Amino acid sequence: MSQATDLYCVMGNPVAHSRSPAIHARFAELTGEVLAYERRLVALDGFAEGVRDFAAQGGRGCNVTVPFKTEAPALATHCSERVQLAGAANTLAFRPDGSIHCDNTDGLGLVADITRNAGVALQGASVLLVGAGGAAAGVLGPLLQAGACQVTIANRTVAKAEALVQSHQALAAHLGAQLAASSLDGVAGAFDVVVNATASSLAGDAVPVAASVLRPGGLAYDMMYGPAAQGFLDWAAAHGAVPRDGLGMLVEQAAEAFAFWRGVRPPSAQVLAELQAQLALQAH
């Protein structure tokens, strides 16, 4: 690798199965950008040190995955409004003057996948967001900004859902949207879009909400992808909803990060189609 090659990485624990290096390598190839992108496994108590080391080695930017997204904003000198709302960041950029800028592209990725790739309008939609952890916090603001008129956050611990409502209340009021918190078994009515932002699929647990939340032909979206999302997708399809996993969100949030770093928008739809084709081949 020549000295001129800009270095990027994804930091997490675990990080071995991250598809980010392959996605960013393909983005670079298609846009003519010259960069290297690697995985960096960071000790659970070593995130700040890992970031400092990477920056000292000339790193230009990094993606942040579990469990460090909520730690990332504290290391930055400049946080986007999305980061301030979510309390979490998934993208850091190291500027030549030594400053660190951070953003959260998760919600942008989710909205892009739903509206552009799935072709489902969020303007005027009712949305059920299942879960109130970091994943949910990262997407609530962008869902509201995309025009969702009503968002209900359902969580096992209602207080966590209420805290998310509270932190986003001013934005919702400004946009004329309704926000509500609920327990998992207390959700009333059916929704145009249901987003599973819990790790229930990953853990192999049962779907945490009743099938009555699904509207026939409505979108049921799991932020997980591949086998991890299959239980939720099967449940959604069996009850008449349109299932979709989070592979598109992964590619689209990566595209937003790439544009944040390089100032160039990669062809995310093409890369998503290629990735879907690869995974379909592997499944057979």
d(CA 253, CA 216): 28
d(CA 24, CA 8): 9
Q: Both ends of the chain: CA-CA distance in Å?
A: 36
Residue 224 identity (one-letter amino acid)? M
Place of tokens 């997407």: 139
Q: Which residues are annotated as a binding site for NADP(+)?
A: 81, 131-135, 155-160, 223, 246
Residue 69 annotated in active site = yes
CB 59 within 8 A of CB 49: no
Q: Which residues are annotated as a binding site for shikimate?
A: 18-20, 65, 90, 106, 225, 253
Q: Which residues are annotated as a binding site?
A: 18-20, 65, 81, 90, 106, 131-135, 155-160, 223, 225, 246, 253
- The helix/strand/coil state of 204 is coil
Q: What is the DSSP string of 226-269?
A: GGGGHHHHHHHHHTT-EEE-THHHHHHHHHHHHHHHHS----HH
Which H or E element spans position 142?
helix 134-145
Neighbours of 193 (CB within 10 A): 25
Active-site hit among 69, 101, 244, 262: 69
| Residue numbers annotated as active site | 69
